[in-house]
Chains A and B, each alone.
Chain A
Amino acid sequence: MEKAKITVKEVTKIFGKSPKQATKLLDQGKSKSEILKETGNTVGVNRASFDVYPGEIFVIMGLSGSGKSTLVRLLNRLIEPTSGQVLIDDEDIVRMKPEQLRDVRRKKLSMVFQRFALFPHKTVLENTEYGLEVQNISKEKRSGKAQESLELVGLKGYEKSYPSELSGGMQQRVGLARALANDPDVLLMDEAFSALDPLIRKDMQDELLELQESMEKTIVFITHDLDEALRIGDRIALMKDGSIVQIGTPEEIMTNPANDYVERFVEDVDLSKVLTASHVMKRAETLRADRGPRVALQLMREQKLSSLYIVDKKQKLIGAITADDAAKAIEAKKEIADILITDLPTVAPDTLLTDMFVKMASSSLPLPVIDENDKFKGIIVRGAVIGALAGNETESAKGEVS
């Protein structure tokens, strides 16, 4: 595994007057509500530990009051941790002096806020410049960088507007531009899209993913919306009562919930919006295009298949043939090229199940999966999809080829 960008070790935050006493009770294994009853202290975050790797989107997900917003503020010390370590590039944020901390905040960490937190008295450009302005970078240089960053989020031409003149979605773009302007390694996004309308939220999620393709920042994203977590998260940490209950990829969490809480959380989720083609894909027999129909028919008989996929030398998918056509071709002395079905619908490995139903219905053959270089990766048979939606392990779901 590559080296972690952020390592959080046993970080705890207790709000109240006697955090030491509360920490002791926490060590004895008492619950959040017991500690509140006994000491009057609130456990914000309870011994959270996790690693975030460079270039990944790490989603911290939980209901309100689960401590997720506190946890993200412990990462840049907007809230002082009671105990534990937060290592960013192996440097412990918790033990830093104010000047060092300021430097890390200026250069390595940027934050995007739920309610945008734009400065109402500054223009869009001035807002975007803020992180550079506090570093005393010259006006010329910082407005150049801010300009680039605004272009990145699609707000060119709005430099002189004030935040109040923009829509919610545009305001959060400014928030994002401001966070990107000082080119940080890490973006902390606290419910960044939660205040937006569902449609705009989806657009922003797509745009973030698109931006992330080229930026490859390390992103810690807080949300209470499971769909959002599943959509954008490379890995998800689920929080409850200040503790992290499970960390895993979206599929791991969906298919293998660590406990009842997670299970109840995910049971309402539409699996077809989580599982991807690569999850239900099967290996398929292929044949090079320069072989004859006899070879094809032979192979299909051996493997008990009713169709076969034809690829070129570079494993690029050309088309498919059926056993019936192959048998007729042998009688009529035709080549494979003559009976090839080329207008096959295809899907990419990261296509969600929900997006492939229409294609599956339109084709009698299994859906071929091809990657971005048109290479043939495998096929999707209906039985495997149904098995996955029913919650079975996909490997055991043996669907017959139609």
Chain B
Amino acid sequence: MQLFPKIPLADWVDSFVDMLTDNLEPVFDGITSGIDWFVEGIVSILAFPPALVLIAIFTILAWWSSRWPVAIFTLLGLLLIDNLGYWDPTIETLALVLTSVIISIILGVPLGIWASQSDRVRGIITPVLDFMQTMPAFVYLIPAILFFGIGMVPGIIASVIFAMPPTIRLTNLGIRQVPEDLIEASNAFGSTTKQKLIKVQLPLATPTIMAGINQSIMLSLSMVVIASLVGAPGLGADVYRAVTQIKVGIGFEAGLAIVILAIMLDRISQNIGKTKN
């Protein structure tokens, strides 16, 4: 026996999503074609040079940003991916990750800065971020399909939602962690809020912000497999196919390619954060 009738939360959410779909269709269409265009652009740039040239470029990037073991790992890992025949889906996955990370940075860093300037903003943003990170990622996919259709875009939107919180959190944290006496010094010499931010807070917060971006990269990479459920291309799609057809070998190959990509992106992005400071 229920004391109160069940609250029709599911119905409310449904009708809210319906309302959004009906009223904001042109907006969603615009976003869809914008993201489509962006990802296609990245894919065509990455796919333009022969695989070996791109592998060389990544190896040099790894060597420049980190130490030589990372460079050797990058070289051998990417050669293996190419050898196994996963080069094209790897490029697509990379394009998806880059796109969602770039969107995460463009939205996340300013939001983090805003949250660092006001306790009230932080008070509102923090529970929203908790919600975004703990709600199972599959759940975003349902409205994402309704808004953006099947394919790559709902996958990217879902991975932005999932991957952006660390960038916001750590940008806020990094700025708030700047020692109080440096803030006092900056104020005592008559800095404006903007000067204080640009000349003192942001430079000192950079390592922390980069750690947040690194987390966002890793999270968005972990989303690509899930995003393949709604038709996003790339390595995730191969894994998904292997799962549905119970092909262990193919699943392992595609999974290994994701791991190689993940380690490479992690080390490079971590060390870029360090060398900057």
Contact = CB atoms under 8 A, between A and B. Distances in A.
Nearest to B185: A117
Given A117-B181, A119-B182, A121-B277, A78 B200 contact: no
A103 B127 CA distance: 40
Contacts of A111: 184-185, 188-189
Interface stretch (B190-198, B226-234, B260-268): B190-198
A131 B189 contact: yes
Contact of B189 (A101, A106, A114, A121): A106
Contacts of A115: 181
A135 B195 CA distance: 10
Contacts of B188: 76, 78, 105, 109-111, 188
A135 B277 contact: no
Nearest to A105: B190
B181 A134 contact: no
A64 B204 CA distance: 30
B187 A134 contact: no
Contacts of B200: 119
A102 interface: yes
A221 interface: no
Given A106-B190, A121-B204, A134 B195 contact: yes
B182 A103 contact: no
Nearest to A133: B199
B89 interface: no
Interface in B151-191: 179, 181-182, 184-191
Contact of A134 (B182, B184, B191, B277): B191
Interface string A212-239: 0000000000000000000000000000
B181 A105 contact: no
A143 to B, nearest CB: 16
A150 B196 CA distance: 23
B273 interface: no
Contacts of A113: 181, 184-185
Interface in A249-285: none
Contacts of B192: 102, 134
Contacts of B187: 78, 105
B273 to A, nearest CB: 14
A102 B182 contact: no
A105 B189 contact: yes
B199 A135 contact: no
Contact of B199 (A78, A107, A118, A134): A134
Contacts of A76: 188
Contacts of A130: 185-186, 189, 199
A119 B187 CA distance: 13
Nearest to B183: A117
A135 B192 CA distance: 10
B270 to A, nearest CB: 19
Interface string A88-127: 0000000000000111111101110111011111000000
A78 B186 CA distance: 10
A105 B200 CA distance: 17
A57 B203 CA distance: 36
Nearest to B184: A78
A106 B200 CA distance: 17
Contacts of A105: 187-190
Contacts of B185: 111, 113, 117-119, 130
B103 to A, nearest CB: 28
A74 to B, nearest CB: 13
15 contacts: A101-B190, A102-B191, A105-B187, A105-B190, A109-B188, A110-B188, A111-B184, A111-B185, A114-B181, A117-B179, A117-B185, A119-B182, A119-B199, A121-B277, A134-B190
Leading 8 A-B pairs by shortest Cβ distance = A106-B190, A105-B190, A117-B185, A117-B181, A131-B189, A111-B188, A102-B190, A134-B191
Interface of A: 73, 76, 78, 101-107, 109-111, 113-115, 117-121, 130-131, 133-135, 178, 182, 188
